[in-house]
Structure 1
């Protein structure tokens, strides 16, 4: 493969709007088939979503995080599984931009729309250092959208060093169908299995400490953002759009209720719940955008983001799911008899958001502890902030 890419490839802009209704139409199919439709994946490519975080030299768009997450949230207003998978696949281009140029070329030199899945949990991975690289084997769960991808990024601990991410081609692993879940069914978050150890060259790995220290060779200062700040938001931002969808459904159902709709509209408890849900949704999206506004301003000046702010932003990302659960729960509690039947839209959203809480990145407890520790003068021990 050639590394001599001297001109930027033809690019377009990120625009998911023309595809939203089609994404919605495929949502029931996604849920029943336990995977996204091929049509939805092709729409992610056509919209520019897959290339949104990819460097321009490989045919990418290099959109800002604010643009990227706005698009992901908008997709989630139509189908949370689609937003979850699309965002996760697309965000990996950011991490690959931090890796050795040869690894980037391996994935994107011939196809800027190449899809990469991931599973960063290191518990199931086994490694052995050998000449030129590392032998890798094991089992990893929650690899969302993996059946649509040609590569996977896997986390594992290297003896004597610590955590690394490994870039592995599709020919080196199997996908085991394990995703029988109560929500987010369309994400096909199946297991990745490497039974016999495979060789991974050092250049196809990414050290956690490098992501923490924001080491990269990209010209765009955006890639000086901590990798963790980008990734953790991709598994929480969809809940914002999904909760907004639930609020829309609730208001529509209230206005067309088989009982007297004026009683619902005039009920003080209903009005309170609607306002509280709207406030939770709006405040979490506002904090997301505000934080990236602040981080982008700093990296564009060539400066480092203060550690206390990185820890604060990490904590704020971790509470999104809990707050979106509050928003949806307060609506679902009084959503009426139709909401209890299988297939009810608001019930599907309730399940999707509750399942997303099981992702380790969405457990606020350790991140609250770390933030409180720093607020009281302690040091940060977390490398994924």
Structure 2
């Protein structure tokens, strides 16, 4: 059964999703070793990059996929079925690639065209300090948390302040250093360590964006006019949806051969298992459909030449946070159903549970977006600053 939007919104979408499904099998094979190493296997990174899944938002005018939001969600979810950490890499790098719409052409060619498999990550947090001199930024200090992919990234972004001016910079591999801080109980292979800038690094003007100057997109297209935070947040819901889908597959595999203590029937033959699997499918399909329909609604509005409404944006953020919560609850139910078998490190259900509960901590899929939608639906005015974050 498919959700009502059961096809990509542009012609190249099917190819991207198919490639993601193929790589999911490779990611699954390497998932345990990657978790132990606390970084993705090089083979998996190379495969994701070769499939264009690290730069899903790069404009077509630069040879990028320019993936519509439904394709983008489906591709990241498909990859996450194999391993949530692999999906997280694609989510982080592809959300960073949204900036390709606003960078100067020289920077896009340097970062995303010269190496189409370029892996990017970073943070917009304004924890760096620098000085603007002669069209360049000298970065004197800066350390940022949540540097997912940083051990293998080709480029990392960072927020830098010079007085009251806020810049987003792109640093090449030689100008940043990851620190061994990512000791988390889930998503271990995402390498989401702190990272710092090489003191005195000089960032040329073409690799800098300044907030407050107005970002002008490289081309006029539907994706350029799509709400950026909706697009970015949807990637993390996609990781959770794919992770939950993988958990269903793994529970079904377990249930077919496991005979619980004190029973003569397999786990699959018990009514509770049949009920839980069906409920899990229903919850996951419904949550996915809500996300895809809300994204498609905005896409259709934008293609008609109109901006997304506040209602469409709050609904999309509701759908995204709802999907994250539902996907996590599905994994909880399946882990519980697996019984004591689920607790062993050799069983993938315990990893699905840990990854889900780390992913749901991401700010962009938090429950605060339920409140914003509820306030809007009840007729309360939504602050312009809040609307800007939707």
TM-score normalised by structure 2 residue count? 0.85
Report whether the alignment pairs 1:224 with 2:216.
Answer: no
Could you tell me which residue of structure 1 aligns to residue 7 of structure 2?
none
Q: Alignment partner of 2:199: what SS?
A: strand
Measure the CA separation in 1 of the matches of 2:104 and 2:343: 51
Are the structure 2 counterparts of residues 379 and 91 from structure 1 closer, same or farther at C-alpha, using a change threshold of 3 Å? closer
Q: Kindly state the Cα deviation for residue 195 of structure 1 after the two structures are TM-superposed.
A: 5.8
Could you tell me which residue of structure 2 aligns to residue 275 of structure 1?
278
Bigger CA drift: 181-190 or 195-204? 195-204
Could you tell me which residue of structure 1 aligns to residue 104 of structure 2?
100
Conserved 8 A contact 1:95-1:227: no
Measure the CA separation in 2 of the matches of 1:16 and 1:264: 31
Q: Alignment partner of 1:113: what SS?
A: coil
Measure the CA separation in 2 of the matches of 1:318 and 1:215: 29
Could you tell me which residue of structure 2 aligns to residue 114 of structure 1?
118
What do the CA deviations read for 1:245-298 (whole angstroms, capped 9, x no partner)? 111222222221223474744644434322332222111211221122112112
Alignment of 1:307-322 (within 5 A): 307-322=310-325
Conserved 8 A contact 2:72-2:235: no
Conserved 8 A contact 2:259-2:267: no
Could you tell me which residue of structure 2 aligns to residue 368 of structure 1?
370
Could you tell me which residue of structure 1 aligns to residue 239 of structure 2?
238
Could you tell me which residue of structure 2 aligns to residue 4 of structure 1?
none
Alignment of 1:61-210 (within 5 A): 61-122=65-126, 124-136=127-139, 137-156=141-160, 159-160=163-164, 164-194=167-197, 196-207=199-210
Could you tell me which residue of structure 1 aligns to residue 8 of structure 2?
none
Measure the CA separation in 2 of the matches of 1:302 and 1:215: 17
Conserved 8 A contact 2:328-2:357: yes
Bigger CA drift: 167-176 or 94-103? 94-103
Q: Kindly state the Cα deviation for residue 350 of structure 1 after the two structures are TM-superposed.
A: 0.4
Conserved 8 A contact 2:237-2:365: yes
Bigger CA drift: 327-336 or 56-65? 56-65
Equivalent of 1:358 in 348, 361, 371: 361
Are the structure 2 counterparts of residues 267 and 297 from structure 1 closer, same or farther at C-alpha, using a change threshold of 3 Å? same
Q: Alignment partner of 1:236: what SS?
A: helix
What is the total number of aligned residue pairs between the two structures?
369
Conserved 8 A contact 1:91-1:234: yes
TM-score normalised by structure 1 residue count? 0.86
Bigger CA drift: 63-72 or 133-142? 133-142
Q: Alignment partner of 1:206: what SS?
A: strand
Measure the CA separation in 2 of the matches of 1:55 and 1:114: 15
Are the structure 2 counterparts of residues 134 and 42 from structure 1 closer, same or farther at C-alpha, using a change threshold of 3 Å? same
Q: Kindly state the Cα deviation for residue 187 of structure 1 after the two structures are TM-superposed.
A: 0.9
Conserved 8 A contact 2:291-2:323: no
Unaligned stretches of 5+ residues in structure 2 = 1-13
Equivalent of 1:50 in 54, 58, 64: 54
Q: Alignment partner of 1:166: what SS?
A: strand
Q: Kindly state the Cα deviation for residue 217 of structure 1 after the two structures are TM-superposed.
A: 3.0
RMSD value over aligned CA atoms?
Answer: 2.6
Equivalent of 1:25 in 24, 29, 35: 29
Are the structure 2 counterparts of residues 261 and 126 from structure 1 closer, same or farther at C-alpha, using a change threshold of 3 Å? farther
Measure the CA separation in 2 of the matches of 1:208 and 1:281: 38
Unaligned stretches of 5+ residues in structure 1 = 1-11
Are the structure 2 counterparts of residues 350 and 45 from structure 1 closer, same or farther at C-alpha, using a change threshold of 3 Å? same
Q: Kindly state the Cα deviation for residue 240 of structure 1 after the two structures are TM-superposed.
A: 0.5
